[in-house]
Amino acid sequence: MGLSWQQGPLSTGAVGRFLMPEPLPKRLLYVERLRRRMRVRFGGSWVADSEDVLLLFEPARYPVAYFPEADITLGVLERTEQTTQHADLGPTSWYSVRAGSEHIAARGAWQHTDLPAYASDLQGRIAFAWRAMDAFFEEDERIVGHAADPYHRIDIRQASRHIVVRHGDRVVADTKRPLVLYESGFAPRWYVPREDIDQTALIAVKLQTFCPYKGLCSYYSIGDARQAAWSYPDPYPEVRRISNLVSFEPDIVTVDLDGAQLRLEPGQSVVPHGPNRNLDVEEFARA
């Protein structure tokens, strides 16, 4: 996704390449000002509020938000004895985050304390552990999952291509009016209207995952093909066009596009996360 995740240009599985006479280092880190107000909530209190957040992109990681020390509420950070060594940024000190006497997140924040000269942009900045905090906000809207990558893009297009989905000898779906979703770092995903699906073939499963860009995702098995299809029953407004449509995984069931069988492209496996990375579905729904 975006710059550093999945198959982005800074990821370890990049599909493109930089046109350079010499090979680039295997690890490239990139930092950029977010240009959005971001806030962090913990224990019922705002522990950080800044319009000067920096996003750090490093290979195979989601973007991480770094806050100026001046924009962090006084008294919420308590330095611990825990230190670690970042491969590129050097020694890292860890903090507990405290909100009142009852709410403490051990190792809830960190700071790189002896940065190399080339990484001086991060001097005096603190990052909060996403899972340890109650919530992150951009303005008054909660951001679910991880800091949004400004280079992540989704485009949805109507198509008249012929999609046929089979499992064994059974035709599960047959349509000439799919929607195709183009998402940064992924091959195109084809979504089929439910009217063109044999819905008796879809067996709902309990698994639900989230996408910070599309919303909460539900899954279906087809016969013995587990989690072979998925749907976004109530996606975010930006991608409302795929609401309640179904997409099929071409490495689990047979998906033909205009007579040619689709294959899952290398590096396209999705890393599933529970809603908001270990928060429950009910809390996600309230976000």
Per residue in 92-151, pLDDT tens? 999 999 998 889 999 999 999 999 999 999 999 999 999 899 999 999 999 887 788 888
Which of 113, 143, 173 delimits the end of a domain? 143
Domain contains 194? yes
| pLDDT of 266 above 80 | no
Domain contains 7? no
Q: Say yes or no: 113 and 189 in one domain.
A: no
| pLDDT of 13 above 80 | no
pLDDT tens, position by position, 52-83: 999 999 988 889 999 999 999 999 999 999 99
CB 189 within 8 A of CB 205: no
Q: Say yes or no: 34 and 127 in one domain.
A: yes
Q: Say yes or no: 122 and 177 in one domain.
A: no
Q: Say yes or no: 128 and 173 in one domain.
A: no
Q: Say yes or no: 172 and 273 in one domain.
A: yes
Domain contains 13? no
Domain contains 9? no
Q: Say yes or no: 86 and 179 in one domain.
A: no
Q: What is the mean pLDDT of residues 235-257?
A: 96
| pLDDT of 285 above 80 | no
Q: Say yes or no: 277 and 202 in one domain.
A: yes
Domain contains 8? no
Which of 114, 143, 172 delimits the end of a domain? 143
pLDDT tens, position by position, 166-204: 999 999 999 999 999 999 878 899 999 999 999 999 999
Which of 109, 143, 177 delimits the end of a domain? 143
Q: Say yes or no: 228 and 278 in one domain.
A: yes
Q: Residue 84's pLDDT band (boundaries 50, 70, 90)?
A: very high
Q: Say yes or no: 167 and 274 in one domain.
A: yes
Q: Say yes or no: 276 and 162 in one domain.
A: yes
Q: Which residue has the higher pLDDT, 72 or 11?
A: 72
pLDDT tens, position by position, 19-37: 988 888 888 999 999 999 9
| CATH (domain of 117) | 2.170.150.40
pTM comes to: 0.81
Range of the domain at 110: 30-143
pLDDT computed for residue 280 by the predictor: 46
Q: In whole numbers, what is the pLDDT of the chain averaged over residues? A: 89
Domain contains 50? yes
Domain contains 25? no
Domain contains 18? no
Q: Say yes or no: 192 and 251 in one domain.
A: yes
